[in-house]
């Protein structure tokens, strides 16, 4: 009897120990299995790489945005597929070029029933949110939470479309967008799920209205003029000459803060008038003309533009600090970019649209602790069409075949080096003509050194050698010296148009 009891007790003890050991093994396995990363996708509007101090030769200081590069990777050759606001957003959502996602220009309406990366992340268990600029005309789909600007949205006291209707938010829009994003992170998200937060600023889009904290930044600074500011547009296609986007002629009194600002509260207006009143009086008294007037316009423009960026940088810092303070940073993929590049006086211009470098090239900074080596730089040819595939791959989600970009994970995890089979050229297509700024429709190919552009409405071509002519001042199309290069690029252009299924327009201009 005693022996039977002992055997029973020993058996019971062994079962308990086995259960504890099994539980321990399961718990260890759970801890060993990687957690899906949170994803913070930050996109400013018209933020030129020339205005981020992580990039060489920048005009200003952006310490918070620079943190992403310092703690992650800076991409020096990231480009867009179509340099304009709404189409860039549609490309990123769908991973498809403009001619396939149905949003080629800002007059388009986005088809929200399409497959998008937020929908796929939702299906994979992510909680998704978008806050800030949307600019696609239709209501956001694929997001559990949204609070987005209506249309372009104002710089002050914006109305925003939310899950519960339209709501007005008092304050400076860059700060409002950040307040809403932080409130969602702190109060509204499910902490048991990985998150995707798409955090998109209006700034520094035209008409560059600084926030109350930044109104006096750069008052005592004189910024150097770009070398190409007085470009006469010779030695290029006629479109460069016939555009309507010069600082000299196109900028209006609203851009230059020479008219009364609208939509401000009495307190905001008081601060605004205190900042611009004395400056405008001094301008009126100076009675500037000719190049002196253009120089004044440039200084007014560049200071207001950079003041808007100062606020973006400060508010990006608020979100990064939240991730650090809560411990979320260790498992969060952070991406900072812009919907395209922007002209800061180069060629005498503001705005974007062209396949020339300043608007074609866009900033890209990526931080992912444990995956991306801090302080690395990549010169791989990448494009905004690669962004959704990268986020899906990071989350372990299969990339749909219909998406036309490629994941950047091999570069991120490879210290910035592209795989041997990486792309050797990029394709671009701009559609909005007739339209704002009168930039002709064009498409082209860029291989990292040579750039071939077809202005098919004009029947004109351009070819640039960026090693010899980095500022793209002289087209060498038709030059005997570049005959072989030109022929190869024509072949590559046809290859990429076939690869990306772009038959618009139906007939190419004659070579």
- Look at residue 151 in the predicted model and tell me its pLDDT: 92
Task: Using DSSP bridges, classify how beta strands 127-132 and 195-200 pair: parallel, antiparallel or unpaired.
Answer: parallel
Average per-residue pLDDT in the chain? 93
Report the candidate in 337, 510, 349 with the shortest Cα–Cα distance to residue 439: 349
The two three-digit tokens of residue 372, written as one number: 């991306």
Mean pLDDT over 426-453 rounds to 97
pLDDT in tens, 11-55: 444 444 444 434 443 333 333 346 999 999 999 999 999 999 999
Domains of the chain with CATH codes: 35-210+298-421 (3.40.720.10)
Mean pLDDT over 139-163 rounds to 97
Q: Is residue 377 within a helix (H) or strand (E), and if so which, with residue range?
A: strand 376-378
How does residue 64 score in pLDDT terms, banded at 50, 70 and 90?
Answer: very high
DSSP-based three-state secondary structure for 413: coil
Q: Is residue 497 within a helix (H) or strand (E), and if so which, with residue range?
A: helix 483-499
How does residue 174 score in pLDDT terms, banded at 50, 70 and 90?
Answer: very high
pLDDT in tens, 369-412: 999 999 999 999 999 999 999 999 999 999 999 999 999 999 99
- Look at residue 67 in the predicted model and tell me its pLDDT: 98
pLDDT in tens, 157-167: 999 999 999 99
- Look at residue 1 in the predicted model and tell me its pLDDT: 43
Cα distances (Å, whole numbers) of residue 414 to 33, 372, 433: 22, 8, 41
Q: Are 475 and 463 in contact (CB under 8 A)?
A: yes
- Look at residue 505 in the predicted model and tell me its pLDDT: 86
Mean pLDDT over 142-162 rounds to 97
Mean pLDDT over 58-69 rounds to 98
Q: Is the pLDDT of residue 496 over 60?
A: yes
How does residue 506 score in pLDDT terms, banded at 50, 70 and 90?
Answer: low
Mean pLDDT over 232-240 rounds to 97
Task: Using DSSP bridges, classify how beta strands 165-168 and 195-200 pair: parallel, antiparallel or unpaired.
Answer: unpaired
Q: Is the pLDDT of residue 278 over 50?
A: yes
Dist CA 136 CA 317 (whole Å): 27
Query: Which residue is associated with the tokens 């992510």?
Result: 126
Cα-based angle 129, 135, 136 (whole degrees, multiple of 5): 85
- Look at residue 8 in the predicted model and tell me its pLDDT: 44
Dist CA 258 CA 260 (whole Å): 7
Cα distances (Å, whole numbers) of residue 506 to 283, 427, 444, 457, 460: 51, 17, 15, 12, 16
DSSP 481: G
Phi and psi at residue 432, to the nearest 5°: -85, 80
The two three-digit tokens of residue 280, written as one number: 């405008």
- Look at residue 34 in the predicted model and tell me its pLDDT: 64
- Look at residue 33 in the predicted model and tell me its pLDDT: 44
pLDDT in tens, 454-479: 999 999 999 999 999 999 999 999 99
Dist CA 118 CA 94 (whole Å): 9
pLDDT in tens, 78-134: 999 999 999 999 999 999 999 999 999 999 999 999 999 999 999 999 999 999 999
- Look at residue 28 in the predicted model and tell me its pLDDT: 35
């Amino acid at each position: 009897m005693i022996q039977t009891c002992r055997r029973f007790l020993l058996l019971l003890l062994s079962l308990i120990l086995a259960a504890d050991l099994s539980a321990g093994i399961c718990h260890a396995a759970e801890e060993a299995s990687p957690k899906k990363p949170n994803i913070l996708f930050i996109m400013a509007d018209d933020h030129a790489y020339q205005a981020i101090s992580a990039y060489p030769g920048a005009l200003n200081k952006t310490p918070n945005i620079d943190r992403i590069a310092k703690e992650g990777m800076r991409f020096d050759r990231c480009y867009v597929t179509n340099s304009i606001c709404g189409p860039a957003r549609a490309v990123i959502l769908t991973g498809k070029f403009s001619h396939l996602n149905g949003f080629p220009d800002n007059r388009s309406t986005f088809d929200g029933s399409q497959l998008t990366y937020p929908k796929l992340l939702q299906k994979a268990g992510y909680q998704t949110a978008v806050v800030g600029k949307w600019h696609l005309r239709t209501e956001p789909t694929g997001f559990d939470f949204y609070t987005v600007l209506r249309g372009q949205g104002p710089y002050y006291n914006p109305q925003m479309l939310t899950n519960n209707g339209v709501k007005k938010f008092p304050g400076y829009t860059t700060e409002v967008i950040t307040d809403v994003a932080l409130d969602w992170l702190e109060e509204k998200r499910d902490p048991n799920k990985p998150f995707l937060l798409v955090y998109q600023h209006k700034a520094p889009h035209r008409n560059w209205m600084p926030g109350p904290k930044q109104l006096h930044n750069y008052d005592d600074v004189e910024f150097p003029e770009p070398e190409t500011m007085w470009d006469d547009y010779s030695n290029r296609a006629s479109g460069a000459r016939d555009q309507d986007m010069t600082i000299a002629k196109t900028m209006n009194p609203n851009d230059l803060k020479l008219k009364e600002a609208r939509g401000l509260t009495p307190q905001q207006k008081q601060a605004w008038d205190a900042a611009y009143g004395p400056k405008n009086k001094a301008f009126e008294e100076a009675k500037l003309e000719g190049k002196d007037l253009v120089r004044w316009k440039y200084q007014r423009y560049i200071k207001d533009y950079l003041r808007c960026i100062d606020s973006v940088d400060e508010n990006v810092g608020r979100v990064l600090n939240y991730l650090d303070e809560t411990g979320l940073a260790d498992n969060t993929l952070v991406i900072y970019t812009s919907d395209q590049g922007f002209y800061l006086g180069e060629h005498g211009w503001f705005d974007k649209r062209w396949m020339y470098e300043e608007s074609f090239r866009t900033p890209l900074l990526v931080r992912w602790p444990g995956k991306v080596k801090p302080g690395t730089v990549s010169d791989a040819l990448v494009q905004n069409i690669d962004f959704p595939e990268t986020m899906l791959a990071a989350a372990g989600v299969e990339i749909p075949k219909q998406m036309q970009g490629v994941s950047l994970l091999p570069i991120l995890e490879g210290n910035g080096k592209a795989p041997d089979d990486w792309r050797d050229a990029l394709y671009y297509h701009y559609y909005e003509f007739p339209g704002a700024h009168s930039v002709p429709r064009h498409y082209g190919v860029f291989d990292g050194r040579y750039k071939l552009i077809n202005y098919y409405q004009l029947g004109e071509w351009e070819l640039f050698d960026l090693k010899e002519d980095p500022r793209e001042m002289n087209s060498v199309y038709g030059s005997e010296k570049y005959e072989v290069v030109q022929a190869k690029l024509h072949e590559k252009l046809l290859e990429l148009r076939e690869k990306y299924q772009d038959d618009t327009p139906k007939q190419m201009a004659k070579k």
